[in-house]
Structures are given as C-alpha cells and as structure tokens.
Amino acid sequence: MADTKLIVTSSDSNNQLVQKTIPNINPDTDNNALKSFGQKITALTDSTLTKVERVDKTNISAAVAKLTPSITLDSTVVPSTLTRSFCLNGTNLPIDIETDGELSIVNNDNTTWCTTIRLGADTGVYRLYIGIVNDQTATNATAGHSVIVESKETDRYYAGRFELFTVLEG
Amino acid sequence: MADTITTKKSLQLTLSYTDGSTGSIIIDNPKDSVAAADIDDLNDCIVNNNILLGNSNSTCTGITQAESIENEKTKIELSE
C-alpha cells in the first residue's frame, strides 16, 4: 500500500506561503474528497488556499528492482480513480491517470524538467508529477497514452522511492 | 508590570480511531471565529470519506475534541 500524505499550501495575510502536511491519508480516498478536506482545513484559518497536493510514495527494494534499459509508464483510462500500485518487476511502472493532463517528469532536484530519468545512483528519489501547469519541455500525456522513460544505465540494481504528486487544486 | 504577548496560536483537533487509539491535527494560526459548525463540517468530511488512517489501517471515527491553544511569553524583570 502506498504511503500517502496531503500537502495543503495557503497564503497568509502577509502573503507568506504556509504549508501543512497531513500524513496517514487513506490512499483509496477519492481525490475530490481530499481536495474538499484541504479546503476545510484552510477554512479554519485566515489564509487563502493556493494548492492541494497528494503524494503517494512507494518503496522499491533492490532485490526486485533490477531495471532493464527502459521502463514504461503505462497510463490507461480509469475514471475517477487513481491507481497507485507499482509493478516491482523492474520493467514496468504502471500509472493510471484519472484525467487527461500533462505527465511531467522532473529530476531529483525537483527543478529541471526532463523526459528521461537517468539512473545515476543506486538510490534516489524520482518524482512523477501529474497536473503541473504546462511547461514547454514537459511531456504531454493524455489518459490512455503511454510515456516511455529511458534509462541510460543498463543492468543495474536500483533501489529507490517513487513519489507520485497529484495536484488536486492550484 | 511584565509584558505578556501571545506568540503562537493553534487549534488542536483530537481524532479517535476504531482501534481505540487517538491522534491529532494541529492547525497553526486559526482564525478567531472558528465555530463548532466549522469543526463539524471537517469532521463529516473526514468520516464520510474515510480520509484518515490510524495504526494498522484503523479507521478514523471522528474528531472528539477541539482545543484552541495559545502560547504566551512573559518577560520577567530581573533584579539588578
């Protein structure tokens, strides 16, 4: 089961961004309900809601995560649900996108857009963003399409953590 | 007279779970006019949508307590 948390970002009366992270979110909760939850949390303050994100994290053990030269992100149409299961056979990382949008992949430093995850280390954190405001270098993906993420490393054992960020509002 | 200032306000919501455990959500800088209806609304959202999980994936049964907490700082004048 994915480890899911909600990040609620708001702007206070001084226009300072305030972030509230709420752990132990039920990963099966409907995204609209999570969005509403974030709105109601913010309604208890004088701040203005700016963003609600859910983060699904899963750990991949080295023993099962031998990656071949490429991994494939398979997206299929699954209305109103977001499947967070990850195939751990090292060759497929299936992600079901609940709505059309942009599937963007950023580097480990969370700053550089790219369409390739380069496995430069045995451990690391790679983030997959769905719903980020369009960037010219982001990969557009619509439900039902697949995005191929190429690995430049071959025959490596990889252990790491994948985090799926879904922007619910903002 | 010593000056006392409020340095931080927060709202602590206590949650109960089906396994008997409790947890909390702390909201910093709540608005002054938080009403019981606001808490009830949040409670309904949590419970009806089964949003929060506890230990061993126990289910949250609701908000059982809401407390406004204020931290105060008082300067104590020292004798010379």
**Does the beta-carbon distance from A45 to B29 stay under 8 Å?**
yes
* pLDDT higher than 70, residue B25: yes
Whether A73 contacts A145, CB under 8 Å? no
Give me the pLDDT at residue A119, please.
31
Residues A41, A47: Cα–Cα separation, whole Å: 10
Residue in chain A lying closest to B25 (CA): A22
Q: How many CA atoms lie within 13 A of A4 on its CB side?
A: 22
Whether B46 contacts A37, CB under 8 Å? yes
Residues A82, A80: Cα–Cα separation, whole Å: 7
Give me the pLDDT at residue B59, please.
93
Per-residue pLDDT tens digits for B2-14: 677 767 899 999 9
**Which chain A residues have any C-beta within 8 angstroms of a chain B C-beta?**
1, 12, 18, 20, 22, 24-26, 28-30, 33-34, 36-37, 40-41, 43-47
Q: What is the mean pLDDT of chain B?
A: 90
Give me the pLDDT at residue A57, please.
66
Residues A13, B64: Cα–Cα separation, whole Å: 30
* Cβ contacts of A84-90, under 8 Å, gap ≥ 24: A84/A2, A84/A4, A84/A27, A84/A56, A84/A58, A84/A164, A85/A2, A86/A58, A86/A60, A86/A162, A88/A60, A88/A61, A88/A64, A89/A64, A90/A64, A90/A65, A90/A66, A90/A158
Give me the pLDDT at residue B33, please.
86
Residues B59, A90: Cα–Cα separation, whole Å: 33
B33 Cβ partners below 8 Å, 6+ apart?
none
Question: Pairing relation of β-strands A125-130 and A160-169?
Answer: parallel
Q: Which of B9, B53, B67 to mutate to test the interface with A (most CBs of A within 10 A)?
A: B53
Per-residue pLDDT tens digits for A88-137: 222 233 333 333 333 333 333 333 333 333 333 333 334 443 332 233 33
Higher pLDDT, A135 or B20: B20
Higher pLDDT, A155 or A10: A10
Question: Pairing relation of β-strands A48-60 and A146-150?
Answer: unpaired
**pTM exceeding 0.80:** no
Lowest mean pLDDT among A59-63, B5-9, B58-62, B73-77: A59-63
Q: Which residue do the tokens 């947890």 mark?
A: B23
Give me the pLDDT at residue A155, please.
37
Per-residue pLDDT tens digits for A9-59: 999 888 999 999 999 999 888 888 999 999 999 999 999 999 888 876 655
Instruction: Give ipTM to 2 decimals.
Output: 0.87
**Facing residue for B42 by CB, picked from A1, A34, A40:** A40
